[in-house]
Structure 1
Amino acid sequence: MATPAPVVDPVSGLRTGAGPDLDHLTVLAGLQDAFQAGIDGADPNAPVPACRRWRVRNLVTHLGRIHHWAAGQARRRQETPLGRGPFDLAPFYATQAAEIRDTLAALGPDASSWTLLGNGPASFWRRRQAHETLVHLHDLRAARLGSGAAVADTAPLDVPADVWADAVDEVVRLFAPRQVRLGRAAPLRAAVGLEAFDVGWSWVLGTADGVDRQHDAPADSPDVVLRATARDLALVLWGRLAPDEVDAQITGDRGALDDALAGRIVP
């Protein structure tokens, strides 16, 4: 039986209760190394399956630009524009990856930064950039293999389950509520339960009455429950895989799950 996941403060990216926090900066560095290695030999014109019209060159440029922008946000400065490109992809990414990593290491986790939720600690960006890189590393491997579903069998990401679980938590506690607040998504019409059986944790996204209360589990039971590994839950929430493409159990109102996943719960 899954238990409620440890509560992570979306502003700091740190747990509010007992238990160790992830070393997001170390996680970020490892993911960046894997992404960098994947650029070598990748076809810049290969399509990225989950990213509409993107090609690999767009993916690499996007992640590099996001690293550069986030470094500015962490320092509370407007970033210097990088120009339109085109760029030599491998050195371009290496430069931006080093910038965000070195910036966050130099600032320390408690430095005052601009975040997606207003002013907050720089630890926010350690977590956010780790998960940004995680999802796009999956995209890069999916582009090489031709589909996201092939990654798990052919070129799986060497990432611990608790990192994937943290990515689930970020969607539930940060992005889904923020999308509603910004008017980019409507409140979910039904409560969606998420259970990661490999870590034994659960989350609830939305409520049955459509009120946006993702920060606290609702009193009513979920209308539908999606049970899978933390990895698969994260990739489903980010639209990289469909529920039918993973080893998942779905109990309850499948239509409510489909509506939630179609509802722009992530940017």
Structure 2
Amino acid sequence: MTASAIDPISGRPRDGSAGIDHLAKLARLQSAFAAGIAPADPTRPVPGIDNWTVRDLVVHLAGIHHWAAAQARAEHTSPLDRDPDDLPGLYASTAAELTDTLTELGPDRTGSTLLGPGPASFWHRRQVHETLIHLGDLYAAGSGRWSAEVFDGAVDLTPALWADGIDEVVQVMEPRQVRLGRIQPLARIVALHAVDAGATFQLGAHEDGRIRQDPAAVVSGPARDLLLVLWRRIPLESAGVGVDGDRSAVEKALATAITP
């Protein structure tokens, strides 16, 4: 398996090509999330996240935007109101803070990232996928259940962006979980084939000290379904994917906290 075409700390193609305009995608996703706040019942539970309500979700994402902006500036985070009266206003202010900060800094300004010192473009990508997953949570709360279709009508995204999220999980999120001691290294590598994006990734191959090995199984399907399975939003058995090889290796990998 060749190395990923994406540099994990910059979120940009290693060959210097333009790649995905994450900052533009972030603004679009933030708009979709903001549009879903006002009509939502803040007391509604968020499916699949124990004890979370819509209020908790909005406050969480607002706080993450605020924190990420500070990280990009290499500053400490000031506290936010954890029980605001105006949920739409809170989210609007922190979403603007994040996008304004990233625009002003430019992609190459060095700050703090989840991988150590690195360019602000890390947060362009990280906040796209943070917002994307929580956008699904917001609309799942409205429908009462999680499915890949919760995004339909809320936002239309290309397979390339969903595949970019898979790449972030395998290169950044899962290895970080191992590095922080939250999970043990995966017993066996699992390949993920995003059929609509024409891309294949290896879960477990980027852990520190990993010895390269052939994957125990290949999970194939649309990039959207694969990413939502990795983030534990939809179960393997109800996703539009197929498994070739040792299914138990896939199930064991997904049973661990490969994403926070």
Superposition TM-score tier, normalisation by shorter sequence: over 0.9
SS of the counterpart of 2:244? Answer: strand
TM-score, normalized by length of structure 2? 0.94
Does 2:221 align with 1:228? yes
1:233 is matched by which residue type in structure 2?
L
Q: Residue in 2 aligned with 1:247? A: 240
Q: Contact 1:204/1:214 (CA < 8 Å) preserved in 2? A: no
For 2:156 and 2:106, locate their aligned partners in 1 and report how far apart those are by CA, in whole Å: 26
Does 2:50 align with 1:57? no
**CA displacement at 1:177 relative to structure 2:** 0.7
For 1:201 and 1:19, locate their aligned partners in 2 and report how far apart those are by CA, in whole Å: 17
Q: Contact 2:191/2:215 (CA < 8 Å) preserved in 1? A: yes
Question: CA distance change for structure 1 residues 223 and 67 in 2, over 3 Å: closer, same or farther?
Answer: same
Question: CA distance change for structure 1 residues 213 and 233 in 2, over 3 Å: closer, same or farther?
Answer: farther
Question: CA distance change for structure 1 residues 204 and 71 in 2, over 3 Å: closer, same or farther?
Answer: same
SS of the counterpart of 1:202? Answer: strand
Q: Residue in 1 aligned with 2:8? A: 10
For residue 196 of structure 1, the aligned residue among 194, 197, 201 is 194
Structure 1 vs Structure 2 CA RMSD = 2.0
For 1:252 and 1:13, locate their aligned partners in 2 and report how far apart those are by CA, in whole Å: 31
For 2:3 and 2:145, locate their aligned partners in 1 and report how far apart those are by CA, in whole Å: 30
Q: Residue in 1 aligned with 2:103? A: 105
Q: Deviations over 1:179-212 (max 9, x none)?
A: 11110010001110100000110011126xxx93
Q: Residue in 1 aligned with 2:164? A: 166
For 2:197 and 2:97, locate their aligned partners in 1 and report how far apart those are by CA, in whole Å: 33
For 1:195 and 1:150, locate their aligned partners in 2 and report how far apart those are by CA, in whole Å: 17
Structure 2 residues not aligned, in runs of 5+? none
Identity of aligned residues (%): 49
Structure 1 residues not aligned, in runs of 5+? none
Q: Deviations over 1:208-262 (max 9, x none)?
A: xxx936999x3x3211111111111111000111111211111111111111111
**CA displacement at 1:9 relative to structure 2:** 1.2
For residue 207 of structure 2, the aligned residue among 193, 207, 212 is 212
For residue 117 of structure 2, the aligned residue among 116, 119, 124 is 119
The number of aligned residues is: 260
Q: Residue in 2 aligned with 1:32? A: 30
Q: Residue in 1 aligned with 2:84? A: 86
Question: CA distance change for structure 1 residues 71 and 235 in 2, over 3 Å: closer, same or farther?
Answer: same
Q: Contact 2:179/2:208 (CA < 8 Å) preserved in 1? A: no
TM-score, normalized by length of structure 1? 0.92
Q: Residue in 2 aligned with 1:66? A: 64
Question: CA distance change for structure 1 residues 41 and 215 in 2, over 3 Å: closer, same or farther?
Answer: farther
For 1:47 and 1:158, locate their aligned partners in 2 and report how far apart those are by CA, in whole Å: 25
Q: Deviations over 1:98-131 (max 9, x none)?
A: 0000000000000011111111000001111111
1:223 is matched by which residue type in structure 2?
A
**CA displacement at 1:156 relative to structure 2:** 5.8
